[in-house]
Amino acid sequence: MKPINILLVEDNEGDILLTTEALAEFKIVNEITVKRDGREAITYFESLTDREQLPGIVLLDINLPKINGQEVLLFIKNHEKFKHIPVIILTTSSAEKDILVSYKNHVNCYITKPIDVLDFVRAISKIEEFWINIVSIPNK
């Protein structure tokens, strides 16, 4: 298993706690950086000066304060320096419109958050299994 840094962009404290605890359980994530709104996420990306600092994966909620997740997704995918980073939408929305817009904006994966805590943790474990253990992600 390869170590990876994850950027979690999420405003719900309960989901932040569940996600970080589930990821920590797998013991392969080097670092989890949390940004609680879209503006924070974009400012974070703008502050990165070294390719070594880039996250390996972004877990992104759509319904964020200040700047929504779709705008953050567009920011990432429209910048040469960041567009190779896999972005996984992890949101409560199962609206067809949100799914369609996300894929039009080049999201790599769209996951509707399960309501049940155990199902949520299982979904995080599947993200880990697929995106960290199976998929080849480009080096920074």
At residue 94, the pLDDT reads 93
DSSP state string for 18-50: HHHHHHHHTS-EEEEEEE-SHHHHHHHHHH--S
Q: Which residues contact 68 (CB under 8 A, 6 or more apart)?
A: 38, 62
Say if 56 falls within a structural domain. Answer: yes
Q: Which domain holds residue 95?
A: 4-134
Say if 8 falls within a structural domain. Answer: yes
Say if 140 falls within a structural domain. Answer: no
pTM of the model: 0.91
What are 36-61's pLDDT values in tens digits? 999 999 999 999 887 668 898 999 99
Say if 139 falls within a structural domain. Answer: no
CATH at 73: 3.40.50.2300
Q: Among 67, 81, 73, which residue's Cα sits nearest to residue 104? A: 73
Say if 9 falls within a structural domain. Answer: yes
What are 106-138's pLDDT values in tens digits? 999 999 998 888 888 888 888 888 887 777 777
Distance between CA atoms of residues 8 and 65, nearest Å: 14
Q: How many domains does the chain have?
A: 1
Q: Among 58, 117, 101, which residue's Cα sits nearest to residue 83? A: 58
